[in-house]
Structure 1
Amino acid sequence: MKTVIIGGSATGMGVAAKLKRLDEKNEIIVIQDKEYVSLGACGIPYFVGNNFVDAEILIARQVEKFEKSGISIINNTKATKIDFENKCVDFEDEKIFYDNLVIAVGAKPIIPDIKNIEANNIFTVNSKEDGIAIKNIISDMSKVLVIGSGLIGLEMVENIKHNTKAEISIIEKADRVLKNLFDEEFSELVEQEIKSQNINLYKENEIMEFIKGSDNKVCGAKTIKGEIIPCDVVILSIGVSPNTDFLKNTKLELENNGAIKINEYCETNIPNVFAGGDCCSSLSYLYKNSKTFYLATVANKQAKIIASNINQIKSSKFVGALGTTIIRFFDLELARSGENKMFIQMNNIETKEILIKDKDHTNYVAGQQELWLRIIIDCKTKEIINAQMIGKNKSVLRIYGLVGLIWSRTKVNEALEQIDLPYSPSFSRTTDIIHIALSKLI
Structure 2
Amino acid sequence: MEIVIIGGIAAGMSTAAKAARTNKEATVTVIEKEKYISFGACGLPYYLGNQFEDQNEMFARTPEQMEASGVNLMLEHHVTSIDFKTKTITMTDLKSGEEKTKTYDRLMIATGAQPIVPPLAGMDSDNVYTITKIDQVNKLKANLDKYNKLVVIGGGFIGVEVADQLAIQGKEMRLIEAGSAIMSGPFDPEFSEKLKGAVEEEGVKIHLDELAQELITTDGKVTAVKTHKGDYEADAVIVAIGFRPNTAFVKDQLEMLGNGAIIIDNYGRTSEKDVFAAGDCASVPHRLLGDSYIPLATTANKLGRIVGTNIAVPEDQMEEYVGALGSSAIKAGAYEAASTGLTEKQAKAKGLNYKTTCIETNNHSNYYTVQEKIMIKLVYDAETFVLYGAQLFGKNETVLRATGLTAAIHAGLTTKELGFVDFAYAPPFASTWEAINVAANTAK
Q: TM-score, normalised by structure 1?
A: 0.95
Which amino acid in the other structure matches residue 223 of structure 2? C
2:132 corresponds, among 126, 145, 150, to 126
1:42 aligns to what SS in structure 2? helix
Which amino acid in the other structure matches residue 426 of structure 1? P
Aligned: 1:243 with 2:246: yes
1:139 corresponds, among 139, 145, 149, to 145
Larger mean Cα displacement after TM superposition, 190-199 or 323-332:
190-199
Between the aligned partners of 1:400 and 1:67, the Cα distance in structure 2 is 35
Between the aligned residues of both structures, percent identity stands at: 34
Structure 1 residue 380: deviation in Å?
4.2
Q: Name the structure 1 match of 2:55.
A: 55
> Could you say if the C-alpha distance between residues 422 and 68 of structure 1 is closer, same or farther in structure 2, counting changes exceeding 3 Å?
closer
8 Å CA contact retained: 1:145, 1:171: yes
8 Å CA contact retained: 1:58, 1:128: no
Which amino acid in the other structure matches residue 279 of structure 1? C
Between the aligned partners of 2:383 and 2:113, the Cα distance in structure 1 is 36
Deviation by residue 1:235-279 (Cα, 9 ceiling, x = unmatched): 111111211111113x22222110101111111111111111111
Deviation by residue 1:180-221 (Cα, 9 ceiling, x = unmatched): 21122222222222332221111100110001112x211111
Q: Name the structure 2 match of 1:363.
A: 366
8 Å CA contact retained: 1:138, 1:166: no
8 Å CA contact retained: 1:281, 1:293: yes
8 Å CA contact retained: 1:103, 1:275: yes
Structure 1 residue 25: deviation in Å?
2.9
Aligned: 1:392 with 2:395: yes
Deviation by residue 1:348-399 (Cα, 9 ceiling, x = unmatched): 2111111111221222222111111101102244211110111111233111
Aligned: 1:419 with 2:388: no
8 Å CA contact retained: 2:418, 2:436: no
Summarize the alignment of residues 59-138 of structure 1 with structure 2, pairs less than 5 Å apart. Answer: 59-92=59-92, 93-138=99-144
Q: Name the structure 1 match of 2:160.
A: 154
Q: Name the structure 2 match of 1:270.
A: 272
Q: Name the structure 1 match of 2:95.
A: none
2:333 corresponds, among 319, 330, 333, to 330
Aligned: 1:208 with 2:209: no
User: What root-mean-square deviation, in Å, do the aligned CA atoms of Structure 1 and Structure 2 show?
Assistant: 1.5
Q: Name the structure 2 match of 1:352.
A: 355
Structure 1 residue 347: deviation in Å?
2.1
Stretches of structure 2 lacking an aligned partner (at least 5 in a row)? 93-98
Q: Name the structure 1 match of 2:29.
A: 29
Structure 1 residue 140: deviation in Å?
7.0
> Could you say if the C-alpha distance between residues 363 and 64 of structure 1 is closer, same or farther in structure 2, counting changes exceeding 3 Å?
same
Q: Name the structure 1 match of 2:291.
A: 290
Larger mean Cα displacement after TM superposition, 136-145 or 291-300:
136-145
Q: Name the structure 2 match of 1:18.
A: 18
Deviation by residue 1:59-111 (Cα, 9 ceiling, x = unmatched): 21111221222222111121001011100000121110111111000111111
> Could you say if the C-alpha distance between residues 218 and 140 of structure 1 is closer, same or farther in structure 2, counting changes exceeding 3 Å?
closer
8 Å CA contact retained: 2:354, 2:379: yes
Between the aligned partners of 1:438 and 1:52, the Cα distance in structure 2 is 38
Between the aligned partners of 1:376 and 1:152, the Cα distance in structure 2 is 26
Q: Name the structure 2 match of 1:233.
A: 236
Q: Name the structure 1 match of 2:345.
A: 342
Structure 1 residue 427: deviation in Å?
1.5
> Could you say if the C-alpha distance between residues 188 and 140 of structure 1 is closer, same or farther in structure 2, counting changes exceeding 3 Å?
farther
8 Å CA contact retained: 1:140, 1:165: no
2:225 corresponds, among 221, 225, 231, to 221
2:45 aligns to what SS in structure 1? helix
Structure 1 residue 432: deviation in Å?
2.6
